[in-house]
Amino acid sequence: MQARAGVRHRRNRSIDVDLFAQCARKLVGKILGTLLEVASMANSTDRVAAALEKWSREVYGKAAAKPGALRASSFVTSSGTDLAALYGPDSSPIESYDEKQGYPGAYPFTRGVQPTMYRGRFWTMRQYAGFGTPEQTNERFHYLLKSGQTGLSTAFDLPTQMGHDSDSPRAKGEVGRVGVAIDSIDDLTRLFQGIPLGKVSTSMTINATASTLLALYQAVGESQSVAPGELSGTIQNDVLKEYIARGTYIYPPAPSMRLITDTFDYCAKVIPKWNPISISGYHIREAGSTAAQEIAFTLADGIAYVEAAQKKGLDVDAFAGRLSFFFNVHNNFLEEVAKFRAARRLWAKLLRDRFKAKDPKSWMLRFHAQTAGSTLTAQQPDNNVVRVALQAFAAVLGGCQSLHTNGRDEALSLPTEASARIALRTQQIIAYESGVCDLIDPLGGSYALEALTDDLEAKAIAYISRIDELGGMVAAIAAGYPQREIEDAAYRVQKEIEDKARVIVGVNEFAAKNDPPFDTMKVDPALEEQQVARLRAFRAARNNEATTRAIDSIKRAAAGTDNLMPPIVEAVKARATLGEIANALREQFGEHRV
């Protein structure tokens, strides 16, 4: 029995060895096959690259050399990239696919932040609206929601943005002009009358006074019996870009950064569904930047905010997932699509590698897009419908999470109701009729698009490296670096337009001598008197002692290190006005002067 058992044991061991050998041969075969496949692909790519070079020299080159064969203008992007006539597989080699392109919903998010993208649901159609009194803007909100808009976006007038009540001498002539006037909790209640804040996401384009508007929104939500934890939306809250490009700042950079990081901390603990900042490249581009500068300066601002929050003691994964971005969409279609892809990829690398964020949600760049106001023309305003449609299409193909489309008349005035409807219908036609939402990143893999994506990322990295050398974005702004770069880029474009090297249809070419009259929206000047009277009645009816105590609490917090959001929330509930809160902070922080 023992002998037989021994034979059986040796036989089993022999079988095991044979099986191991077979597996090893298969594995080696697979490895060799893969290596040969990679080598074959490399050789194939080399062959195609050589063929492309030969075509460029012998076919395209000869045709291009003929007189009049090419347009007079050069083939250069806004960021200074000389475009090749044709791109090939060497622009998107398969061996770099995982590193550079990857898959939707996975690092590096080049192809989108959601695995299903628009197959799951469309982007939020969030038309920007605000003018006159809260009642007028509320009426426009209801109109847009009934027309199929899926989120709200609020424009505030300049006094609200700059922390002045409507009866301030500095507000005269500006009340309700470029946005809605908000002085008090009663105004914000009127603004959202009949709109359930627990069900609608609201974006508010507000910066220096963003903490006060968020406090007002929370208070109005609670009056509707909506808990803070159920509120969703975004405050822009991006003051650094105000120093760079727009100018609606109040306080110096240090206290402004404190207000921002206090809001990060407060939202993480109290309003977790809220985006406490929308880091904005939109206004940087409107000021004249290139696409590469828009990426670089926006992400450099983002780096500064993350660093400030970490310095405050916040864990990056506690807030980074709620950071949102806001980008422009210009006319150069493929460059704009590439811009969004490059920005996503670069931000993912920065958060994972530079800031050591561990949660993949922290690596995601989620963004709202708005079509470019600076590209719209007062001449032949109907042409703007086409411009906006092309820009909106680029934003969708670039993977935006929400989108605003401008009205055709915004170079002339605030949009009329009819223009706002056309702008919204533009988004709906793209969503429901174009078919592009059936595919995820449908342009991904295009040789030209991948080359542009790589180029924009490289240019943005170079800018960010220079900003790091200057000591970070706050120091770079103080030195005037991004401002100068934007001014130079804007000057070059304007010179090209004046020299007709850059054609603007209906302006420097194809102009019409007698444009037909175009109906525009006008804000009644009497509305300012109405808003001022209402504000004074509000102050007269409140408990001024309670309001004064609340304002004093803000001053004490500002003089110390406590989070400023809780006393601001209590102040708006005690019926302090936006201007009174801003003045309390001015008293402690001062004002920024250039």
pLDDT at 515: 80
Q: What is the DSSP letter of 509?
A: B
H helix and E strand count, the chain: 23, 10
- Residues 54 and 192 placed together within one structural domain of the fold: no
- Residues 146 and 175 placed together within one structural domain of the fold: yes
pLDDT at 32: 52
Question: Over the stretch 27-71, which tens digit does the pLDDT of each residue have?
Answer: 555 555 554 454 455 566 788 888 888 998 889 988 988 888 887
Which residues form the domain of 50? 2-70
Question: Over the stretch 195-214, which tens digit does the pLDDT of each residue have?
Answer: 999 999 999 999 999 999 99
Q: How confident is the model at residue 155 (pLDDT cuts 50, 70, 90)?
A: very high
Residue 229 lies in a domain: yes
Residue that terminates a domain, selected from 452, 477, 502 = 477
How many Å apart are CA 459 and CA 476, to the nearest integer? Answer: 17
pLDDT at 65: 87
pLDDT at 421: 96
- Residues 195 and 296 placed together within one structural domain of the fold: yes
How many Å apart are CA 488 and CA 500, to the nearest integer? Answer: 18
Mean pLDDT of 365-380: 97
pLDDT at 79: 93
- Token pair, residue 124, equals 């939020």
Residue 511 lies in a domain: no
pLDDT at 19: 57
User: Is it the case that residue 1 has pLDDT exceeding 70?
Assistant: no
Residue 497 lies in a domain: no
Mean pLDDT of 360-383: 97
Mean pLDDT of 472-490: 97
Question: Over the stretch 354-363, which tens digit does the pLDDT of each residue have?
Answer: 999 999 999 9
**How confident is the prediction for the chain on average, in pLDDT?**
92
Residue 193 lies in a domain: yes
How many Å apart are CA 396 and CA 578, to the nearest integer? Answer: 37
Is the Cα torsion angle 301, 302, 303, 307 positive or negative in sign? positive
- Residues 183 and 280 placed together within one structural domain of the fold: yes
How many Å apart are CA 480 and CA 172, to the nearest integer? Answer: 31
User: Residues 572, 575, 579, 580: what is their CA dihedral angle, to the nearest 10 degrees?
Assistant: -100
Which residue, 360, 349, 266, is CA-closest to 302? Answer: 349
Residue 80 lies in a domain: no
- Residues 202 and 96 placed together within one structural domain of the fold: yes
**Is the Cβ–Cβ distance between 160 and 182 less than 8 Å?**
yes
pLDDT at 67: 84
Strands across the sheet containing 402-404:
124-125, 402-404, 366-371, 323-329, 277-280
The residue ranking higher by pLDDT, 5 or 453, is 453
Mean pLDDT of 536-560: 98
- Residues 403 and 471 placed together within one structural domain of the fold: yes
Question: Over the stretch 230-248, which tens digit does the pLDDT of each residue have?
Answer: 999 999 999 999 999 999 9
Q: How confident is the model at residue 183 (pLDDT cuts 50, 70, 90)?
A: very high
Residue carrying the six token digits 């489309």: 405
- Residues 198 and 127 placed together within one structural domain of the fold: yes
CATH number, domain of 235, equals 3.20.20.240
Residue 491 lies in a domain: no
Structural domain count, the chain: 3
- Residues 32 and 175 placed together within one structural domain of the fold: no
Residue that terminates a domain, selected from 444, 477, 510 = 477
Is the Cα torsion angle 271, 125, 395, 507 positive or negative in sign? negative
Mean pLDDT of 452-480: 98
- Token pair, residue 351, equals 């958060």
- Neighbouring CB atoms inside 10 A of 255's CB total 19
pLDDT at 27: 56
pLDDT at 24: 53
pLDDT at 5: 45
